[in-house]
């Protein structure tokens, strides 16, 4: 395998407020590709629907779901297993992941409230 991973250092406090890629064509698709290639789905499941890591597609967040909170979670990690990717991904890639996560839509209603 010859996939280079560039090393970058991200200091979240200095990251710009809001997602600079918001509305940019291609950002969501690029984020979706990263979600798989960086093995985010290894913990959060395909489509971010949850595995050993929590669902990212239910509209609920432990550490906040706005763009800056998501950037912080990815760049610096969170307790109970979320690694810090700030030294592995450039800022632009993290914002692409944020773009992907923010467009995931929670299933209609609370899916386990009723069974058919």
Partner 1 sequence: MTEIRDSYPISESHPMPGKTATAIRFREIGLLSPIFLVGLLLGAGEVQAGAGEEWTQPGGDMAGTRYSELAEITPENAGKLRMVWNFSTGVLGGHEGQPLVVDDTLYVVTPWPNVLYAFDLTQEDYPLRFKYRPDANPAAIGIACCDAVNRGAVHADGKIVYNLLDGRTVAVDAKTGQELWKTTVADLASGETLTMAPLVAGNRVLVGPSGGEFGIRGSLKALDLETGAIVWQMRNLGPDTGMGVKQETFKPSYPPAPNAGTDTWAEESWERGGAPVWGWLSYDPALDLVYYGTGNPGPYNAEQRLGDNKWSASVMARKPGDGSLVWAYQFTPFDNWDYDATAENILVDLEIDGRVRKALVHFDKNGFAYALDRATGEVLVAEPYVPVNWATGVDKTTGRPLVVPEKLTGKSHGLVKNICPTLEGGKGPSAPAAWSPRTKLFYVPTLNLCMDWQSADAIYVKGTPYVGATIPYHPGAGPHLGGFMAWDAAAGRKKWEVNERFPVWSGSLVTAGDVAFYGTLDGWFKAIDANTGKPLWKFKVGSGVIGAPISYRGPDGRQYIAVYSGIGGDWSLVAGDVNSADPADVRPPTDFAPDLARYTSQGGMVWVFAL
The residues binding partner 1 (CB under 8 A) are 1, 3, 5, 36-39, 41-43, 45-46, 49-55, 58, 60-62, 79-83, 85, 88, 107, 110-112, 115-116
Which own/partner contact pairs does 62-65 have at CB distance under 8 Å and 24+ positions apart?
65/102
DSSP character string of 38-64: TTHHHHH-GGG--SSSPPSSSS--SS-
The nearer residue to partner 1, 12 or 43, going by C-beta atoms, is 43
Question: Least CB distance from residue 71 to partner 1, whole Å?
Answer: 18
**Least distance (Å) from partner 1 to the CB of residue 61?**
6
Q: How far is the CB of 56 from partner 1 (least distance, A)?
A: 9
Nearer to partner 1, 49 or 76 (CB): 49
Contact of 43 with 51, CB cutoff 8 Å:
yes
Least distance in angstroms from the C-beta of 23 to partner 1: 27
Which residue number, 25 or 79, has a Cβ lying nearer to partner 1? 79
Q: Which is nearer to partner 1, 18 or 59 (CB)?
A: 59
Of the candidates 75, 5, 70, 76, the residue with the CA atom closest to the CA atom of residue 38? 5
**16 CA to centre of own chain:** 17
Q: Please choose, from the candidates 58, 46, 40, the residue with its C-alpha nearest in 3D space to the C-alpha of residue 96.
A: 40
């Amino acid at each position: 395998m010859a996939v280079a991973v560039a090393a970058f250092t991200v200091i979240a406090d200095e990251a710009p407020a809001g997602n600079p890629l918001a509305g940019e064509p291609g950002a969501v698709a690029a984020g979706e590709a990263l979600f798989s290639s960086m093995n985010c789905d290894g913990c959060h499941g395909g489509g971010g629907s949850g595995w050993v890591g929590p669902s990212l597609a239910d509209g609920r967040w432990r550490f906040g779901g706005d763009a800056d909170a998501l950037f912080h979670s990815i760049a610096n990690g969170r307790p109970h297993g979320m690694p810090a990717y700030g030294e592995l991904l450039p800022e632009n890639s993290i914002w692409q992941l944020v773009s992907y996560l923010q467009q995931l839509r929670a299933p209609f209603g609370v899916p386990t409230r009723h069974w058919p």
